[in-house]
Structure 1
Amino acid sequence: MGIEKQGQNSEVQKLRDDNLQLSRENLRLQRAVEELGILNEIAVAINSTLAVEKILDLITQRCVHHLGAEQGEVLLLEEKKTARPFQTICRVGDTSHQRLPFRLDDQLTGWMLKHRAPLLINDMGNDRRFATGDGDLFSVLSLLCAPMVCKGKMTGLLVVFNKKAEAGFSADDQRLLAIIASESAQVIDNARLADKEKTLLHMQEELRLAYEIQYNLLPDEPPRLAGYDIAGKSIPAKEVGGDYFDFLAVGENSLAFCLGDVSGKGLPAALLMANLQAAVRSQAMAGTSLTSCLERANSLLFRNTSPEKFATLFFGCLDTEGHVLHYCNAGHNHPFLIGKETEPLRLSAGGLALGCFESFPFEESQVPMKPGDLLIVFSDGISEAVNDDDQEFGEARLIELASAHPDSSAAELIEKILQDVGRHAGDRPQMDDMTLVVLKRLT
């Protein structure tokens, strides 16, 4: 009987052990199913059209709920170095304990930046790396943190605080949070790529509009003047600037022309250029003097643009009957009047760039245009074009080139100058608009 009873007890114990093992296996399978469920839910969210903030909020909610934590948050690592490298972009909290939001201290985030590995702490009371705040209500008892890494680059941290179960966070909790953090990193990386693509498309559209504005403002063809040859050309840089030139008949024997360069690049520069052209044209058509025209344009720019916006402008008016060039130079590169038997003359009279001060008295001057005289008006994209040795093309080379081709037409001379500038720059990219106006007196 004793041996028989002993055998029955052994079988009972075996059944108990088998049931315990089965229960543990059931719990493991149940946990695995739950983990697959949460990972599947997160995968669906990642592939949805939800905003990245909502996706990360959903991920944090699921982590807090599934891991039995009180609070959780996602911290985004700033792309540019700052005093505080991490910024909280979503936070989920269990308010049943009436706790204030927990946070990681600088030492702990520094540890995560250095080690880029999951961190599990179930006894925060003995860990001085975490700032808990004041009072028991703000204390953190346990912490589980995982780095969000995508393509070898850390993008942020996923962290949960205070496991409700007395045993604290487990190795399985750490493994799951690490997997979720990795998936979350992909969300942030995709969002950043999308933002960069959106920014690039916006910049490309602005660039297209700037090109279009600049192109439409330029004259279709130069005017025909008896006894004179005139031409102009502008080649915009990749990052469109604010160069423009214009011709305007203001009387039977008068031709107004200008070449300007507004500050800035892209669409803002193109719009400012359009406003400047409109202001100059309206004043010129009204028969306003050169100085009055520039004074009004200056006032307009000053009142309607930000302080860093300004424009340089050479404004000339040619009397084709008296063969006199009246001009006013508002802070622009000094054009050169090159005669057959005289030294090149700088046309510098005028004043400051437009838009610098609310009012400024501009000065008008005049020079005679003799047969064979050549006027070259240019933007700084010509004279300041640099080569691989950072040497500028320079004004001296421009004068020398123009003087060496007295028989070339105005259009031909412009092409020769642009070609020579291109040879000088070599493989260096064009950094600024290049604009030229050439006026020659033939007879």
Structure 2
Amino acid sequence: MPDSNLLHSTTDVLGLRKQLLLKKQELNALLEITQSINLDTTEDALYKIFQFTLLGQLNIRRIVVYLKEENQWQCMVSFGYQLADFRKLALPEVIIDNCTEVPCPIAAYQLGPQWQQLETIIPVVQKGAVLAYVLIGNVQEDYANEEATSFLQTLSNILIGAIENRRLNRQRVAAAAMRKEIEIAQEVQNMLFPRKLPNDAHVAVHASYVPHTAIGGDYYDVVNIDQDKFMFCVADVSGKGVPASLLMSNFQAGLRTLLRQHVDLATIVHELNHLLFRNSGGEKFITVFFGIYDRTTRHLQYVNAGHNDPILLTDSGPVQYLKTGTVMLGIMEELPMLDVGETEIPPHSLLLNYTDGLTEVFNTNGDEYGEEGLIALMRRNRYLPLAGLHKEMLREIEAFNVNKTQFSDDITILSCRFK
């Protein structure tokens, strides 16, 4: 008869060796993962290393990993013999709702046949929120206890934490790049606006600009053509941000070049339309009002290209709206029609050019401030200095606006007082 004490001793030694072997395997798995993290490995490579570490070191032969990306659960790893492609399967709501803290057996949930080849769901929890789920199956019998599952949870936390840190770092780098891009675009946009506006014995010009976002889509310009004539314009490009700023920069460069060539207003409009269409392929457009004023003759030539009608207020007579022109620029290669408007400007007239952010303001009842509100304000304050008139306009629409200082669009005001 064999000695029972000897048998027990042998069994204990074998059990201890098994435990030591498992601990060695766990240590190797931990080292592989941490070394990969320290080497600044890519996210995709980390998933691969995690997959093969569980397979090679811990002999876990089926692995599925779901990660929460922008509030959507996505399968990042689906590996194992005869395992369904979980990248095509949504994570069941019953898992999301119920397995939120500790590992859960798959058998606890009545899932489809694809899920039966997996055995355990390991939630990866950080700061009380589940960031990922690691699902495992076909685990060797010696590695199917609570202690082993706890280690897998720790290992998964290390992996997902590293991936989350990489993602946050990537977002920080992207945000820094975007901030720099915005700074450059703001500098470009500020350079587009004229540094000095006319104020002489014949005319005074004043401009105000309130961007809706960090980089707006409005533009205004005033350019001396000769000692008697100057050109002024107010424009609004479709879209916002960097693309709008770059398109405006291109528009201004084209306009300044054409003015140096002393071409007529109709040619300027046609050529700018060609330029915008070539650069944006008809996907972006600009509404713009151009005016060329002659101080000696008091004659104004203008083209309204789909823009808000400038308002001309004289000492007597009705309000005039400068409508003549064409469609917005950049939407088609050839303008279907173009008329150049002409009018004489009486002494003491006030001309208001603006973008739609000034009138498209709503109160708590849903009423629009609109053109009528603007004209009423101009009549009440028409002899104010232009800077004061602009200040009063912005004050009134802010008081009218349901969102107060938060306007829904850029606001540009360019007014001319003809003496």
In the superposition, the TM-score normalised over structure 2's length comes to 0.87
Report the alpha carbon displacement of residue 35 of structure 1 after superposing the two structures with TM. 2.2
Match of 1:103 among 65, 69, 85: 85
1:283-362 matches, within 5 Å, as 283-360=258-335, 361-362=337-338
1:196 and 2:167 are equivalent in the alignment: no
Q: Structure 1 unaligned runs (5+)?
A: 1-8, 94-98, 133-139
1:35 corresponding residue in structure 2: 26
Query: Contact conserved, 1:318 with 1:325, CA < 8 A, in 2?
Result: yes
Report the alpha carbon displacement of residue 324 of structure 1 after superposing the two structures with TM. 1.5
Query: Contact conserved, 1:378 with 1:437, CA < 8 A, in 2?
Result: yes
2:217 corresponding residue in structure 1: 242
**Alpha-carbon distance between aligned partners in 2 of 1:110 and 1:300, rounded to the nearest angstrom:** 54
Report the alpha carbon displacement of residue 367 of structure 1 after superposing the two structures with TM. 1.8
**Alpha-carbon distance between aligned partners in 1 of 2:223 and 2:316, rounded to the nearest angstrom:** 30
1:164-189 alpha-carbon deviations (Å, 9 max, x no partner): x5778554443332332233332333
Query: What is the letter of the counterpart of residue 207 of structure 1?
Result: I
1:430 and 2:390 are equivalent in the alignment: no
**Alpha-carbon distance between aligned partners in 2 of 1:26 and 1:196, rounded to the nearest angstrom:** 47
SS in 2 for 1:146: strand
**Alpha-carbon distance between aligned partners in 2 of 1:247 and 1:69, rounded to the nearest angstrom:** 73
Query: Contact conserved, 1:240 with 1:433, CA < 8 A, in 2?
Result: no
Query: What is the letter of the counterpart of residue 26 of structure 2?
Result: E
Query: Contact conserved, 1:337 with 1:373, CA < 8 A, in 2?
Result: yes
Report the alpha carbon displacement of residue 320 of structure 1 after superposing the two structures with TM. 0.9
1:135 corresponding residue in structure 2: none
SS in 2 for 1:233: strand
Query: Contact conserved, 1:107 with 1:129, CA < 8 A, in 2?
Result: no
1:87 corresponding residue in structure 2: 75
Structure 2 CA distance for partners of 1:280 and 1:243, relative to 1, 3 Å: same
Query: What is the letter of the counterpart of residue 15 of structure 2?
Result: R
Query: Contact conserved, 1:120 with 1:169, CA < 8 A, in 2?
Result: no
2:233 corresponding residue in structure 1: 258
Match of 2:60 among 51, 66, 69: 69
1:377-435 alpha-carbon deviations (Å, 9 max, x no partner): 00112112345555443222222222222322223322322233333336442332211
Match of 2:113 among 117, 120, 130: 130
1:15-26 matches, within 5 Å, as 15-26=6-17
1:175 and 2:157 are equivalent in the alignment: no
**Alpha-carbon distance between aligned partners in 2 of 1:211 and 1:279, rounded to the nearest angstrom:** 20
Query: Contact conserved, 2:83 with 2:117, CA < 8 A, in 1?
Result: no
Query: Contact conserved, 2:28 with 2:57, CA < 8 A, in 1?
Result: no
Match of 1:233 among 178, 183, 208: 208
**Alpha-carbon distance between aligned partners in 2 of 1:315 and 1:302, rounded to the nearest angstrom:** 18
**Alpha-carbon distance between aligned partners in 1 of 2:391 and 2:405, rounded to the nearest angstrom:** 19
**Alpha-carbon distance between aligned partners in 1 of 2:133 and 2:17, rounded to the nearest angstrom:** 32
**Alpha-carbon distance between aligned partners in 2 of 1:195 and 1:332, rounded to the nearest angstrom:** 41
Report the alpha carbon displacement of residue 37 of structure 1 after superposing the two structures with TM. 4.2
Match of 2:252 among 277, 300, 321: 277
Q: Structure 2 unaligned runs (5+)?
A: none
1:368 and 2:344 are equivalent in the alignment: yes
Query: Contact conserved, 2:304 with 2:323, CA < 8 A, in 1?
Result: yes
Report the alpha carbon displacement of residue 313 of structure 1 after superposing the two structures with TM. 0.4
Report the alpha carbon displacement of residue 257 of structure 1 after superposing the two structures with TM. 0.7
SS in 2 for 1:370: coil
In the superposition, the TM-score normalised over structure 1's length comes to 0.82
**Alpha-carbon distance between aligned partners in 1 of 2:286 and 2:111, rounded to the nearest angstrom:** 59
Query: Contact conserved, 1:260 with 1:312, CA < 8 A, in 2?
Result: yes
SS in 2 for 1:321: coil
1:148 and 2:106 are equivalent in the alignment: no
Overall identity of the aligned pairs, in %: 26
Query: What is the letter of the counterpart of residue 112 of structure 1?
Result: I
**Alpha-carbon distance between aligned partners in 1 of 2:258 and 2:7, rounded to the nearest angstrom:** 102
Query: Contact conserved, 1:257 with 1:317, CA < 8 A, in 2?
Result: yes
**Alpha-carbon distance between aligned partners in 1 of 2:358 and 2:188, rounded to the nearest angstrom:** 21
Structure 2 CA distance for partners of 1:297 and 1:172, relative to 1, 3 Å: same
Query: What is the letter of the counterpart of residue 434 of structure 1?
Result: I
Match of 2:96 among 110, 113, 131: 113
Between Structure 1 and Structure 2, whose CA radius of gyration is higher? 1
**Alpha-carbon distance between aligned partners in 2 of 1:188 and 1:307, rounded to the nearest angstrom:** 42
Report the alpha carbon displacement of residue 110 of structure 1 after superposing the two structures with TM. 5.0
Query: What is the letter of the counterpart of residue 60 of structure 2?
Result: A
Query: What is the letter of the counterpart of residue 32 of structure 1?
Result: K
1:3 corresponding residue in structure 2: none
Report the alpha carbon displacement of residue 276 of structure 1 after superposing the two structures with TM. 1.0
Indicate the RMSD between aligned Cα atoms, in angstroms. 3.0
SS in 2 for 1:301: helix
Structure 2 CA distance for partners of 1:44 and 1:196, relative to 1, 3 Å: same
